Structure formats: C-alpha cells, structure tokens
Structure 1
Amino acid sequence: MLGGLTAVPPLSMDMYLPALPKVTDALGSPAATVQLTLTACLTGMALGQLVVGPLSDRFGRRRPLLIGLAIYILATAACALAPGTALLIVFRLIQGLAGAAGIVIARAVVRDLYDGLAMARFFSTLMLISGVAPIVAPLIGGQILRFTDWRGIFLLLTVVGILLTLLVVRRLPETLPPARRHTGGTRDALATMRGLLADRVFTGHVLVGGFTFAALFAYVSASPFVVQEIYGASPQVFSLLFGINSVGLIIVGQVNGRLLVGRVSLERATAVGLSLITAAAVALLVMTSGVFGRVGLVPLAIALFVLMSSMSLVMPNAQTLGLQRAPHAAGSASALIGTSSFLIGAVASPLVGIAGEDTAVPMALVQLASVLVAGAAFVFLCRPGTGTKATLTAARHDVTTTALPAPATEAAGTPCREGADEA
C-alpha cells in the first residue's frame, strides 16, 4: 500500500510519456511547451509536499492523505477533459499538488514505524514496489495509444486514484498518535524546517537526493523525444526500453536492501552509486556530442541503463540517512527531502529541451552537472569519511541519529513503533 502511494509520481508522469509527441500534435503546441505539463506536475508535487508534510505532523497521517487523494482524482479527471495546453498545465499543477500527499506521508509513515537498518531495508523495498510503476506505466500508456488518444491515459489514472483511495480507507491505520503530534502553527512548522536545514549533514543528504533525482528526471523528460524523434523508435519500443531501465532500478535496489545494508555503510554504497552515475553521464555526453561520430541506440541505451540502475544506490540511502536525523519531525523532514528533489527536477525538465528536439546533448549535460553537484554535496556537507563507522554501527543496531529534540509530550528516545503491528 505504501508502495502504491509512492508510485503516484511515476504513474502520473511515466504513463503519459509515450503520449508527449502525440499531445504536441493534437494540441498544436511546441515540444518545449508540452514538456511544461511535466514540469507543472513535478512543481506541484514539490510544493504540495512542503505543505502536507507539516500538516501530517500536526493532524496525523490519514486525514491529509485522504484529502489529497480526493483532490488528485478530480484534477486527473480534469486533465482528461482539458481543451488546450494552458489548461492542461494548470490541471497538471493541481494534480501534482494533491498527489504530493501520497509521497510525503508514505515516507513519514515509514519513519513512524521503523529505525536504522529496518528503515533502510524498507525504503529499498519501496524502491522495488514503486519501481514496478515505471515499468508498467509507459507500457500501459503505449498500449492505450493503440486504441485511444492521450486523454484515455488520464481516465485510467483517475480510476487508479479511486482504487488507491479505497485501499487507504480500508487498510492504512493512523501511525502518528496524538501524543506525538506537533501542536504549533505555521511559525512552529517553519522553525522546525529551519532547524532541519541548519543541520549540515541533513542538508547534505537532501541535496544529494535532490540533484540525483534531477539527473533521473532529465532522462524521464527528454527520453521520449530522444528515443522516438532522434532515433526513430516507436512508442512501444520506447516503453520497452524504459521498462528495462526500471528493471535495473529494481534489481540494484534489492541488492542494496538485501545484501549491502548492514554489511556496507550507507555512505559507501551512496559513493559507489554516485561514481557509476557520473561515469554513465560522461559516456552519454561523449556519445551524444558526436565525438566518435553518430552512435546508435544500443550504446546509448546501455549508458542510460547504468545511470538509471545506479539511482537505487543513492536515493533510498540518502533518504534513510536524512530521515534518521529527524525522528520527531518525520513529516517536515520528508517534505524537505521530497520538495527539494521535485523542485530541482522541475528546473532540470525544461533545460533538456532548450536546444530543440534534434539533439540529446542538453539531456547529457544536465545529467552530468546534476550528479557533479550531488557528489560535491556528499563530499563537503555529508563528509562520509567522518561518519562511516558510526552509520554502519547505527544501522546494525537500529540506532537513530537525531538532529532535533523530541517534543515535550514525548520522552526523548522513545521508539517510534506505535501502529507497527496494525500496519
């Protein structure tokens, strides 16, 4: 169920990807304008998390989640009826704002119930579950386009939203009891976020996750045009390649969660992932810039596979390391992690199309620049060499590193396990 909530972003974006060229033709808009429908959804998900996260710390997890899902259903149905690009962008923004509830609250629920090693493994499991969505979504989107137009994709997403809402109503208990909720208003919520951002290590992991996500979203945003327009592949071939990359994401995620966590420090696994992403981004830039002449689709697809797969060594570990430092403000911490990722990704999205539809160089440049910034944040803010041993020990013994004190209503050090049995 939590995997279904975290699957809202790939379902909302990836099922729609094969239709981007067709939306461009149907609405008579340039590719850069149609890509703004992705940017709007991504921006909405970023800003929505910043609002829903603190609200879930104050009112509990269920109520904000159910309200967000209800609005998501209405906005998605409106996308299917949009008469033009401008309104589609507006409805996609609202869809993203509402869909943010699922992402941020799913992470907060995990933080409510798990610590240390268990949390790292659960995030890797979520990567597996939510990773199925990028595989299935474009495949479904490509098949829908064989029978109907792009509007049918949003109708199916509306049905998915309804089913997910019913599942939450029936199966998800409240994981944040009243004794652990924050009673303050907006000022206290902002103070909590300032305290989190003042923690150098937390901010470092936020930036690592955010800029890694930007490299991923540069691929998500540009690949429909690169694969279909530049290399002439069909929507079905594009969907197949996208699915293969997502399989790599899942496999590496399971290697991380089942084999590496508890044996290798989270910092070391993150460093390996960043190195592999950097190597893949360099290879993509060399190939797309024509240094060795025109390169076919196969070498490009291999480099993209390495880049995508390596994300599973960075993103779940960065989330775990960041959330470990805020056990008593999980909603706010989750909001900052998610918001930074989606905002940075939203900036990356239009940059990949800045040189038009006939070159993939901007995609490779954005990916390389993003991973270099992530690496710099990892080295200079997280400073992995000073905390590797401590983090490995904490993971083995489920010890939480805390950046903020416990609220007055709860004694410091109380395990966050209420509701675990019910979940």
Structure 2
Amino acid sequence: MNLRIILILGALSAFGPLAIDFYLPGFPAIALAFGTDEKQVQLTLASYFLGLSIGQLAYGPVADRFGRRVPLLVGVGLFTLASLACAFVPTLEWLIAARFVQALGGCAGMVLSRAIVSDKCDAVQSAKVFSQLMLVMGLAPILAPMLGGLLVNLYGWQSIFLVLTVFSAVCSLAVALGLPESMPAEHPRHPLAGALGQYRRLLADRIFLGHALTGGIAIAGMFAYIAGSPFVFIKLYGVPPEHYGWLFGANAAGFILVAQVNARILGKLGPALLLSRAVWVYLAAALVLLGIAGLHTQALWPLLIPLFICIASLGCIIPNASACAMNGQWARAGSASALLGCLQFSVAAGASALVGVLHDGSAVPMAMVISLCGIFAVSAAVLTRRLQRTRDASVAQTAQV
C-alpha cells in the first residue's frame, strides 16, 4: 500500500476523533449562544455517538454490494454538508440533529478505511497499516482540543464546524482523485437483502467476535479514561485547565510511540502473539492504577505512571485486534468492518457512562472501569487464542486426510 493511499485513509480515519475532540472547547460558548447549560450541550455528543453506531452498520453491506469508493464519497459529502449546517443552526435542537447526520457521514471513513486495508493487505500488513493510522488517532486528541480552543477564542464556536467543512471537502476531493476502488472485481457482490444474514454469520464466527471484543473492550478503557480524567486531573488534584492538555497529550504520545514500535516488530512476532501479550500489560497496569486510586494519595504522579502504561499499551492492542478480526473476511470486509466499529463504540459508550454512574468524588470509578475492561479484554483474548489454535489444528488435520 503506497504512501498516498495511507495518507488519505489517515485523513478519513481522523473524522471520528476530530468531530469529537475538536469542538469540546466550544461547549461553554455553545451553551451561552443557545441560553442553556453544558449538560444540555453534551446531548450533541451523545447524538454523534448514536449516529456513529447506526451509520457503521448501514455502510458495511452497502460497501460489500457497490464497492468502497461510491459509499465513501457519499459519506464524506454528507459529513461536509452536515458540518456546514452545524455552523449555522438556529437552535440547540437543530445542532443535535445536525451532529447526528454528521456522524452518519463521518463513520463512512472509519468503516471503509478498514475495509480498504483488508482488501489490499494480509494480517501482518494490515496490522502495520493500522499502526500507522494510529498516529492520526493519537495526534488528533492532542492537537484538536488546542486548535479548537484557539478557534473559539478568535472566531467563535461556529468556526470549528467551518474548518471541519473545509477539511472534509478536501478529503472528498482526495478520495475522488487519488483513491481507486480496492474491492477486487472477482469478489461476489452481496445483495443488500442479505445484510442481516451477513451480520448473523459474523456474530456466529467466534474468532472474529473474540478479536472484535478484545479491541472494543480495550477501547472502552480509553473512553473511561477520557470521561474520568477531566474530573480526576482538574477537580480532584487541582491541575490547571490549561495544563490538562499536556497530561492528555503525554498519554497520547505514549499511544503513538507504542503503535509505531508495534509496526516495526510485527514481521517477527505477528499480530496475534503481540495482542495476547499486550492485553496482559494493560491489565497489570490497570490493577496497579486501581490499587493506587484506592489509597487516595495526595499526589497525582503515582496515578500517572500506570495510567500512561495503560493508554500506551492500546497502541499495540487496537491495531492488532483490528487486523486479526478483519483477517480472512475478504468479500464481506465492509460488513465485518462495520460490525467491528459498532461493537467498539457501543462498548466504549457504555464504559464512559459507567464512570459517571459510579462517580464518588475520587479516582476509583475511573480506575475501576479501566480495570474491568482489562479483565474482560484478557479473558476475550485468551479464549479467542484457544479457539484459533483449535481451528488451526482442525484445518491441519483435515488437510492431512
């Protein structure tokens, strides 16, 4: 896969994190503009997550029927129009609706970028490309809130959505001119009427489901961190809001670094082995984090070390879990990518909500949810590895006969 295609896929993969992190600094300004509070503004984030979950399931079968380019161009175009609408909505209710439509368009890039990688690469190559795309996922949380805050201060909250409009329009042009159809002509084109059947078969594939849940549960731990860290850092330990971005960025830098190391060593160890080891690192760090949080220490730094290890280990877990799940899907890569993304965001949304439900004025709820994610991720990874070994042994035995 050449650099041009990787850059385009990286930009498409950025739609999700950009549309989430970019406008967070604008919450107070949006609340003021519509005469409401930030709690109501958070509904615009909830509607976006809802659109991501629903939209991904729709794009998968469409991509397996019509190829990757056409649905991708439609989705990016929809994101562009919805972003422009977000900048000029008259009420908060309209903004909530526009954000939902924006998510329906934006998730096309997330679903189809994975499908395109699967079309062009084997498991090891896919994991390498996914690791390179992690660079975008890691940089977006660092840069987006900073740039978003600057735009809000200089030009108002509407400027954030105008920048997203321009960015997505440029991406649409890049797709039209520089991204050829990746779905091989010989692959069967599944009719849309069979979409539910495809999803049922994928859910019945315990190895696909195991890898998808391993990655999804690990991502849920990251969402628990995103949901809980503002309170823990700023409210509980008194970190100035302007310094919060530096702590957040340090963890994202660890995520990026591990993802790039993962890409370099994949050829020797393979994605399945790296995944099986990385989840144990994540769990060990999460349990240490929970133990320190339970001590209610007066200093923040003891929490920062295991938290850094948890987030950094995701740079190995997420690309390898995605590559293992997508391996061998071929003709149904679109549906597999859609279901993978839907599972990830559904579990992640539940984890972030659980942090709020368990809130007790300490760091324990965040650490507890991250630890639970570690336990379930390890369980899913161990069980899936056993299932894979059993399947491989059965295939080898059949081949000998």
TM-score range, shorter chain: 0.7 to 0.9
Which runs of structure 2 are paired with 1:328-343 in the superposition (5 Å)? 328-343=331-346
Which runs of structure 2 are paired with 1:63-74 in the superposition (5 Å)? 63-74=70-81
What is the distance in 1 between the residues matched to 2:360 and 2:74? 39
Secondary structure of the corresponding residue to residue 329 of structure 1: helix
What amino acid maps onto 2:268 in structure 1? R
Structure 1 window deviating more from structure 2 (122-131 vs 202-211): it is: 122-131
The verdict on how the C-alpha distance between 1:380 and 1:193 changes in structure 2, with shifts beyond 3 A counting, is: same
Partner of 1:208: 214
Partner of 2:181: 174
- Tell me, yes or no, if the aligned pair for 1:120 and 1:320 is still in contact at 8 Å: yes
Cα RMSD between the aligned structures? Answer: 2.7
Secondary structure of the corresponding residue to residue 331 of structure 2: coil
Partner of 1:106: 113
The verdict on how the C-alpha distance between 1:266 and 1:38 changes in structure 2, with shifts beyond 3 A counting, is: same
Residues 1:138 and 2:134 are matched in the alignment: no
Secondary structure of the corresponding residue to residue 88 of structure 1: helix
The verdict on how the C-alpha distance between 1:256 and 1:75 changes in structure 2, with shifts beyond 3 A counting, is: same
Aligned equivalent of 1:346, options 349, 366, 370: 349
What is the distance in 2 between the residues matched to 1:24 and 1:302? 35
Secondary structure of the corresponding residue to residue 174 of structure 1: coil
Partner of 1:190: 196
Q: Note the alpha carbon deviations across 1:102-134, whole angstroms, 9 max, x for none.
A: 001001111111113222212212222443222
Partner of 1:11: 18
Percent identical: 41
What is the distance in 1 between the residues matched to 2:35 and 2:235? 17
Which runs of structure 2 are paired with 1:255-266 in the superposition (5 Å)? 255-259=261-265, 261-266=266-271
- Tell me, yes or no, if the aligned pair for 1:3 and 1:129 is still in contact at 8 Å: yes
What is the distance in 1 between the residues matched to 2:114 and 2:29? 35
Residues 1:295 and 2:299 are matched in the alignment: yes
Secondary structure of the corresponding residue to residue 356 of structure 2: coil
The verdict on how the C-alpha distance between 1:152 and 1:118 changes in structure 2, with shifts beyond 3 A counting, is: same
Structure 1 window deviating more from structure 2 (170-179 vs 220-229): it is: 220-229
Aligned equivalent of 2:131, options 124, 136, 155: 124
TM-score normalized by structure 1?
0.83
Aligned equivalent of 1:306, options 306, 309, 313: 309
The verdict on how the C-alpha distance between 1:218 and 1:150 changes in structure 2, with shifts beyond 3 A counting, is: farther
| Structure 1 residue 25, shift from structure 2 partner | 6.2
What is the distance in 2 between the residues matched to 1:31 and 1:361? 25
| Structure 1 residue 386, shift from structure 2 partner | 2.9
| Structure 1 residue 34, shift from structure 2 partner | 3.9
Partner of 2:242: 236
What is the distance in 2 between the residues matched to 1:21 and 1:234? 17
The verdict on how the C-alpha distance between 1:103 and 1:325 changes in structure 2, with shifts beyond 3 A counting, is: same
Partner of 2:3: none
| Structure 1 residue 204, shift from structure 2 partner | 0.4
What is the distance in 1 between the residues matched to 2:157 and 2:362? 25
- Tell me, yes or no, if the aligned pair for 1:272 and 1:313 is still in contact at 8 Å: no
Residues 1:91 and 2:87 are matched in the alignment: no
Aligned equivalent of 1:282, options 270, 284, 287: 287
Partner of 2:87: 80
The verdict on how the C-alpha distance between 1:314 and 1:153 changes in structure 2, with shifts beyond 3 A counting, is: same
What is the distance in 2 between the residues matched to 1:44 and 1:133? 20
- Tell me, yes or no, if the aligned pair for 1:267 and 1:388 is still in contact at 8 Å: no
The verdict on how the C-alpha distance between 1:238 and 1:388 changes in structure 2, with shifts beyond 3 A counting, is: farther
Q: Note the alpha carbon deviations across 1:328-359, whole angstroms, 9 max, x for none.
A: 21111111111100111222233322356954
The verdict on how the C-alpha distance between 1:43 and 1:57 changes in structure 2, with shifts beyond 3 A counting, is: same
What is the distance in 2 between the residues matched to 1:360 and 1:92? 31
What is the distance in 2 between the residues matched to 1:159 and 1:232? 37
What is the distance in 2 between the residues matched to 1:292 and 1:180? 57
| Structure 1 residue 388, shift from structure 2 partner | 11
Secondary structure of the corresponding residue to residue 38 of structure 1: helix
The verdict on how the C-alpha distance between 1:152 and 1:160 changes in structure 2, with shifts beyond 3 A counting, is: same
- Tell me, yes or no, if the aligned pair for 2:13 and 2:109 is still in contact at 8 Å: yes
Residues 1:322 and 2:325 are matched in the alignment: yes
Structure 1 window deviating more from structure 2 (149-158 vs 353-362): it is: 353-362
TM-score normalized by structure 2?
0.87
What amino acid maps onto 2:183 in structure 1? L
What is the distance in 2 between the residues matched to 1:299 and 1:32? 31
| Structure 1 residue 177, shift from structure 2 partner | 4.2
Partner of 1:398: none
Partner of 1:378: 381
Aligned equivalent of 2:158, options 146, 151, 164: 151
- Tell me, yes or no, if the aligned pair for 1:284 and 1:300 is still in contact at 8 Å: yes
What is the distance in 1 between the residues matched to 2:356 and 2:262? 33
